[in-house]
Structure 1
């Protein structure tokens, strides 16, 4: 093949197309989300900046010895864009295009497919052929059809009714060879380094691990109730000891998420996350994909530790400037830079917090779907029960726990609050005032119990304030509003009715801080509902 023809062929394969085919592929599911090329390139820019800062301004794309791994490749967009950048950057190092591309693809760019389909797609994106040894492949030195993009079916390891590695339910995933197992090889091992040595050779050490892992197990749960697994991919990447990890994940791990507490603690305490780019607005990072709480990507540094530079993005653009701060100051990550000074002013008073007052879930031991009788007729000791979308009546003896609370004045809050809107603005529901003789299902939490109506009303007024709901928002990353989201809220005396104006003055908030709170939280001007 003549050089001009090869040049044209490689140029077509490696440059950005208009339209780029990888912008036109529908996602397989919300669990396995294809990364838009623009988003992938932002992450690659972050890698390049970090490399330059650590290497006296050196350009990573001009280094023929740097190796990259995407251990959960789907469309192949990261590997393709890395290849494109290296092809341009190494032109002086190796003027011969065919030799240059072959070196990049055989020595610098590696991937692990998450399914057979995505492995084929990634090879087509990177090698211009479904087989690296195919006639049309732009790689010339491979002696294996999969090149450096590996995939073999992996099976779950059952320990009882769950996988010992990823926690998948046996009932949902033991389904024969006709369907994908979704047992991702990278996280189904106790030794990812040894696993990769069997794939690519014992001498491969990856400098950069980058990608967008599967987010959760779709085995009966959905959205926030499905079990997250992306933390296992992060942990596996860290065990490989690269120089950098750049990974996009849902942002729920900042403050919540099922099974993510230990992962969050490790991440915040490590001081190795040196840059974090956050997209809190629904659909902003990945258009058309509903990931509640938004997405973010981080740069993890295997050598240097220190504070983290945090940048919030909104409608695809930076919102204000970045802020550099310690991530481990609190037990959760406060995602908005503007919120930090407000929280510090509140916390410095050392007041007790509201999470100690709010009940745990299922306060009377009754599930959401439980309903009593339509009226109190014939019930010996009737209790008015607030449940999902209706009120019913039960005998006090039906309450599995906390029956003594029935006689208190109570303020109830829904345990779930949120909408499908791109931006959440309320964060908590309107309080429900429940007098003596009442109880509730787990649709509600008992946010507070009181001996008289005045105290209950004052407390409900406090729960309606923007100030309180702003502090809740710092810990509330999903629709769930369990008692933990109240852990930044001071538990104030309720012998007076608190207003936002009183609270702003109490904590010495500036005009800018007040404006920020009110830009984030919509007013609850109406009175609490009476039960």
Structure 2
């Protein structure tokens, strides 16, 4: 009876659901099983082991665990129905994120959305079984939820709509939900909710699910989450520091292209899943996965750098690049140096007392006295790039990245809006051109990419890019030789980064 579930699900409805694009991404069964494969084999032969999915959507984790336990407990509990009853009543627990997903999860786990009906493969006394859903209200303060940061204007709703106030993260005592301890906590939590900020701003949620799970101190914790936490950022800095500094994470599987994991779904920065072990203390086994295959694996410390370097080959290159060089973190200027917002308005023709300003919509002219210039950069040549990453931190169809777009030289008495980031300034046009040649290399853009897990490029993201003298121009061949890269490392860079065509006029190079 090891194929108990496979006989009931053909085609697999959970595979079909996993192909849908949704803010709350469904997990394909094959991904769920890869995560389960990280757990010790003996768990499937132990009738006392308890499992919790605190973010049930399709029920795939509980269903796949059940399949393993049904096979693994054959010797201990020979009778199939007795074995099934024990597994579903005593070992498997879930918390659904919405009423709809509670019905879906029960249907896929118990073969009936109501486990007290005659259609359920195991009979419970109520309609929930061990997969509960409780409608929770947000706790508002100053327009936002104290627990998850959701916007009151968007999520204060009537009974006819979901509140998306997830029970697991809207309590300070998660252990009180089931009033029991769990050996394994596993899941794919919701990733974000709107926080009411500008431009459809959203706050991450997934780290709250991970942190709550750690409070219960299970033997094992595994979740699949966006990889943006590697570099911290909005609401994630403390979480990143906690994850990288502890020694309990024994495995991380990194998937740079989310479509390799969730077909048809693009998540900027990719995704990862990890195994946290209560009784483990040591380095982490980091695996890079491409199209379902592990292409690289190494055991290393997670906090070697302030940003987690996701790719093992990239780590080797970074170590060579910054071994004896300062980085460009202290060269690049902070965003919006001139204090000119993206929405700035000006005039289209030159006028006395006005200077040209490069904006996302082209050049305009604004009064010079309206421009902040504390370091007197206006009179210099300025190399600038767009603040937003080319392609939105998603690879093109061939899997390559350009990273930098709109690489330009601003001449003296020119400024730029916050759309652009100032890389460096020079007294001579020739030195500015030399920096342009450096930025356009695949080597430079590859190293910059390693700290990017969102679309925004800020000065701290240049922590892996060595600062070089701009007395000459630079090519990839010269840089590969300078840093002693191997053929495999060179091939890796070449396979990831698009070439950047140079062009423009004598006064302002445009790429």
1:256 Cα deviation from its structure 2 partner: 4.2
1:220 Cα deviation from its structure 2 partner: 5.0
Contact map agreement 2:97 2:164 (CA 8 A) in 1:
yes
Secondary structure of the structure 2 residue equivalent to 1:498: coil
The alignment's TM-score, normalised by the length of structure 2, stands at 0.93
Contact map agreement 2:19 2:264 (CA 8 A) in 1:
no
Contact map agreement 1:431 1:528 (CA 8 A) in 2:
no
Secondary structure of the structure 1 residue equivalent to 2:106: helix
Structure 1 residue corresponding to 2:349, chosen from 372, 375, 378: 375
Q: Does 1:30 align with 2:2?
A: no
Secondary structure of the structure 1 residue equivalent to 2:376: helix
Question: Aligned residue for 2:459?
Answer: 483
1:226 Cα deviation from its structure 2 partner: 2.1
**1:159/1:43 CA distance change after superposition, 3 Å:** same
Q: Does 1:123 align with 2:106?
A: yes
**1:222/1:283 CA distance change after superposition, 3 Å:** farther
> What are structure 1's unaligned runs of at least 5 residues?
1-6, 53-58
For the residues of structure 1 that align with 2:196 and 2:118, how far apart are their CA atoms?
Answer: 43
For the residues of structure 2 that align with 1:223 and 1:91, how far apart are their CA atoms?
Answer: 55
**1:16/1:329 CA distance change after superposition, 3 Å:** farther
Stretch deviating more after TM superposition (504-513 or 387-396): 504-513
Contact map agreement 1:416 1:443 (CA 8 A) in 2:
yes
**What do the CA deviations read for 1:71-90 (whole angstroms, capped 9, x no partner)?**
00001011111111111111
**1:289/1:493 CA distance change after superposition, 3 Å:** same
Question: Aligned residue for 1:92?
Answer: 75
User: Counterparts in 2 of 1:44-443, with a 5 A limit?
Assistant: 44-47=36-39, 51-52=40-41, 59-140=42-123, 142-194=124-176, 196=177, 200=178, 202=179, 204-219=180-195, 225-319=201-295, 321-349=296-324, 351-376=325-350, 379-402=351-374, 404-419=376-391, 421-422=396-397, 423-443=399-419
For the residues of structure 2 that align with 1:224 and 1:104, how far apart are their CA atoms?
Answer: 43
Contact map agreement 1:430 1:528 (CA 8 A) in 2:
no
1:298 Cα deviation from its structure 2 partner: 0.5
C-alpha RMSD of the superposition: 2.1
Contact map agreement 2:51 2:92 (CA 8 A) in 1:
yes
**1:495/1:329 CA distance change after superposition, 3 Å:** same
Question: Aligned residue for 1:56?
Answer: none
Stretch deviating more after TM superposition (488-497 or 35-44): 488-497
Secondary structure of the structure 1 residue equivalent to 2:85: helix
For the residues of structure 2 that align with 1:528 and 1:205, how far apart are their CA atoms?
Answer: 65
**1:223/1:97 CA distance change after superposition, 3 Å:** farther
1:158 Cα deviation from its structure 2 partner: 1.0
Contact map agreement 1:35 1:286 (CA 8 A) in 2:
yes
**1:335/1:384 CA distance change after superposition, 3 Å:** same
For the residues of structure 1 that align with 2:419 and 2:231, how far apart are their CA atoms?
Answer: 22
Contact map agreement 1:225 1:258 (CA 8 A) in 2:
no
**1:372/1:424 CA distance change after superposition, 3 Å:** farther
Stretch deviating more after TM superposition (286-295 or 65-74): 286-295
1:175 Cα deviation from its structure 2 partner: 2.1
For the residues of structure 2 that align with 1:269 and 1:332, how far apart are their CA atoms?
Answer: 11
Stretch deviating more after TM superposition (420-429 or 240-249): 420-429
**What do the CA deviations read for 1:118-177 (whole angstroms, capped 9, x no partner)?**
01111111111112212211123x333211111110011112111111111111111222
1:11 Cα deviation from its structure 2 partner: 6.3
**1:359/1:264 CA distance change after superposition, 3 Å:** same
Q: Does 1:506 align with 2:506?
A: no
**1:179/1:173 CA distance change after superposition, 3 Å:** same
For the residues of structure 2 that align with 1:136 and 1:18, how far apart are their CA atoms?
Answer: 18
